């Protein structure tokens, strides 16, 4: 039975929760691969005889390619069908995951990560659009909340799951675990995902995509290379200049194109814009802990990778438990105030992380991490609902891709900012340039970590104040 609306299609509605599971599983995997490699970097760098600073490109290149491609595939999904793009993306991601697990040189591993990232960006840019099309308004908050929890869980659970895998298997299985889950998702998609009914068939803005991709790659390339050789070096300055020029070119190209990757008019919707910026900021702040805690728990506190992984699981587990309740509360009472409550809790937790040191009880770490997971659940699910419910149906694809871009851009910013602040603070404390953990000097790392979490706290505080101001202003205006 063909309809122009999935919500009027009885077959689609019968299987809508299976569709959610299929989309959610792949969303979890593609996001997980942005962070799962972190805890395995020491092992991989040793086996491939690669310096640690070069090995970190395995994390960076994945997120950079995802960010560069999200807008493109969001528009491709709108034009030719979100479900078609999602299905192709699942196949490419599984192929890339298999290639990543084959032990070889760093160059080939980075190429495999690029393949994996292209597939991931195809699924990330279409997942929320598919769910928004499939689920009726009365269940949309819960459904988007669950997708949001899959995203957040994948982003945050990486080090924990990675540590558990490394305790039993080789590092290859960090990537190969995606293959059977990916095949299951492909099978579910084959049987239950319907054919696309919403297609705009508009021409794709390749000039806009090219300029935006150059902006992403040169901006973060300049940051990560600058960390190693210095930000004042010619190559770093050239990359930053190219980033500025390419972004200016992107802006003017989009303004003049009748079918741009982004209709900047979308940002006139203040609710959409503030929610998107807040999502970016929170994912950035969350990634401070994802990057820093493996070093704190393993190098400073002396725990094994598997124990460190277990300790880092409290955040994602509590978030996973809280997300369905948050989605249900969002459906019942509305999402706006829940986002503020979640942000307040996240801000308090980031403030408490500033005081971590060598003598901090592990129970304190666990309790604060657990409350941070609850705060994240309260924020993410309602915020996704606000973003996806504040645009017209024709813009669902690009809104979904912008939502994914905000999250992934936030992750890259989190990596870049946390490591830059950490290294600069450690260098200040040490009196010389530092770009790694220094053996027998945990005090240097602790100082850098405290400064880093001070920045994460400020980011969360600004996001909370922005959201609170918007809510109070809307209430005064009767909205």
Model confidence over 109-138: pLDDT tens digits?
899 999 999 999 998 888 877 887 888 877
Distance between first and last Cα of the chain: 40
Which run of H or E residues covers position 177? none
Nearest to 198 by CA among 395, 464, 345: 395
The model's pTM: 0.79
Confidence band for 2, pLDDT divided at 50, 70 and 90: very low
How high is the pLDDT of residue 449?
94
Q: What's residue 158's pLDDT? A: 75
pLDDT of res. 210: 94
Percent of the chain at pLDDT exceeding 90: 26
| Residue 300 near residue 358, CB atoms below 8 Å | yes
Contact 3, 9 (CB under 8 A): yes
pLDDT at site 452: 95
Q: Do the beta carbons of residue 108 and residue 252 sit within 8 Å?
A: no
d(CA 192, CA 473): 44
Instruction: Return the domain boundaries, the chain.
Output: 6-204+259-476, 205-258
Backbone angles phi, psi at 333, to 5 degrees: -110, -5
Separation of alpha carbons 333 and 142, rounded Å = 12
CATH annotation of 6-204+259-476: 1.20.1250.20
Closest CA to 411 of 317, 290, 295: 290
Q: DSSP class of residue 275?
A: H
Q: What are the Cα distances from residue 297, in Å, to 110, 142, 307, 428, 446?
A: 27, 35, 9, 23, 11
Range list of H helices, 101-177:
106-134, 137-168, 172-176
Contact at 8 Å (CB) between 11 and 194?
yes
Distance CA 326, CA 56 (A): 35
pLDDT single digits (tens) 286-333: 889 888 888 888 888 988 877 887 888 888 788 878 877 777 777 777
Q: Describe the crossing of helices 16-32 and 106-134 by its angle, rounded to 10 degrees.
A: 150
Element (H, E) at 439: none
The answer to whether residues 261 and 212 touch, using CB atoms and an 8 Å cutoff, is yes
Tell me the C-alpha to C-alpha distance, in Å, between residue 435 and each of 52, 61, 180, 413, 465. 10, 19, 37, 18, 33
């Amino acid at each position: 039975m063909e309809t122009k609306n999935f919500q009027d299609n009885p077959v689609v509605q019968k299987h809508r929760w299976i569709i959610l599971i299929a989309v959610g599983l792949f969303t979890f995997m593609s996001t997980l691969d942005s962070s799962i490699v972190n805890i395995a970097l020491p092992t991989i760098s040793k086996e491939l005889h690669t310096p640690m600073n070069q090995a970190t490109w395995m994390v960076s290149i994945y997120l950079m390619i995802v960010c560069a491609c999200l807008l493109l595939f969001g528009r491709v999904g709108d034009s030719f069908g979100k479900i078609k793009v999602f299905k192709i993306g699942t196949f490419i991601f599984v192929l890339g995951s298999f290639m990543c697990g084959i032990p070889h040189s760093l160059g080939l591993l980075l190429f495999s990560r690029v393949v994996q990232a292209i597939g991931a960006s195809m699924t990330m840019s279409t997942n929320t659009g598919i769910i928004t099309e499939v689920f009726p308004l009365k269940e949309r908050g819960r459904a988007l909340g669950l997708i949001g929890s899959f995203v957040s869980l994948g982003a945050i659970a990486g080090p924990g799951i990675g540590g558990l895998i490394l305790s039993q298997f080789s590092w290859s299985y960090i990537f190969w675990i995606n293959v059977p889950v990916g095949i299951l998702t492909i099978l579910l998609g084959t049987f239950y995902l319907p054919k696309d009914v919403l297609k705009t068939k508009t021409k794709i803005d390749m000039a806009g995509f090219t300029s935006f991709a150059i902006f992403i790659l040169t901006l973060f390339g300049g940051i990560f290379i600058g960390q190693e050789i210095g930000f004042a070096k010619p190559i770093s300055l050239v990359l930053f200049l190219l980033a500025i020029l390419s972004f200016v070119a992107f802006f003017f190209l989009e303004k003049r194109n009748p079918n741009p990757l982004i209709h900047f008019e979308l940002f006139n919707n203040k609710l959409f814009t503030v929610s998107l910026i807040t999502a970016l900021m929170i994912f950035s702040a969350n990634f401070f802990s994802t990057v820093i805690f493996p070093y704190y728990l393993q190098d400073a506190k002396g725990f094994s990778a598997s124990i460190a992984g277990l300790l880092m699981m409290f955040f994602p587990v509590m978030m996973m438990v809280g997300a369905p309740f948050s989605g249900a509360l969002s459906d019942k009472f509305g999402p706006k105030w829940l986002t503020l409550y979640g942000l307040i809790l996240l801000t308090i937790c980031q403030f408490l992380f500033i005081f971590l040191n060598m003598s901090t009880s592990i129970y304190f770490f666990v309790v604060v991490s657990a409350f941070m997971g609850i705060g994240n659940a309260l924020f993410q699910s309602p915020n996704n609902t606000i973003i996806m419910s504040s645009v017209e149906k024709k813009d669902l694809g690009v809104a979904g891709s912008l939502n994914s871009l905000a999250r992934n851009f936030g992750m890259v910013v989190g990596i870049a900012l946390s490591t830059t602040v950490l290294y600069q603070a450690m260098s200040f404390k040490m009196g010389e340039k530092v770009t790694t953990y220094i053996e027998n000097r945990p005090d240097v790392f602790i100082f850098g970590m405290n400064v880093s979490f001070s920045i994460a706290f400020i980011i969360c505080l600004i996001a909370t104040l922005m959201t609170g101001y918007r809510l109070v202003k809307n209430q005064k205006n009767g909205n």
